Amino acid sequence: MKKTYAELLKDPRWQKKRLEIMEVHDFCCQECGRSDLTLHVHHTVYQKGANPWEYENKYLRCYCEHCHEKAEEIRQDLQRALGVLPIRGQRFVMGYILGLLLDIGRIKVLYEDVKADIDIGYGLKDYFRVDSLPDGQITLDHFKSDKSK
């Protein structure tokens, strides 16, 4: 019988992973820095079929209960907003997000001429491969698409 998500969160493997994430962040909220509130470990993405403890640490955040609630509300709002946009609009939003990540140093651009295309967000899937590096940074690698032939 398949376990519910709530039951999976009681699994010793999740409890170990949860404690590891909290220890790495000195039992403080990564968003507000508080340590006097109940802490939660937030999954920044969900992977179909993955158990809670099977995620890489870079996809887990240590948040206080208030920041965790805010993060979940924002994630749900983003999902609803993206759900009503056409693909072109979704690409524009992705370009904007990548531009923000570039601005705060979370993206390493392998080719400088790619920056203009990132900023306008047009056709990202056609022109870029997004890879994740071990340190949590994202790399955009320019590659040739079928459209460039």
Decide if 41 contacts 18 (C-beta within 8 A).
yes
Determine what percent of the chain is predicted with pLDDT higher than 70: 68
Which residues have C-beta within 8 Å of that of residue 145, sequence separation ≥ 6?
126, 127
Please write the tens of the pLDDT for every residue from 5-27.
899 999 999 999 999 999 999 99
Q: Which pLDDT does position 94 carry in this prediction?
A: 78
Token readout for 49 is 């079929």
Q: Rounded distance, CA 61 to CA 68, Å?
A: 9
Q: Which pLDDT does position 121 carry in this prediction?
A: 41
The CATH number covering residue 9 comes to 3.40.1800
How many domains, the chain? 2
What's the whole-model pTM score? 0.65
- The answer to whether residues 44 and 18 belong to one domain is yes
Decide if 92 contacts 119 (C-beta within 8 A).
no
Domain end (from 28, 58, 76)? 76
User: Domain of 117?
Assistant: 86-148
Please write the tens of the pLDDT for every residue from 92-127.
887 777 777 777 666 555 444 444 444 434 444 444
Q: Does residue 81 sit within a domain? A: no
- The answer to whether residues 11 and 65 belong to one domain is yes
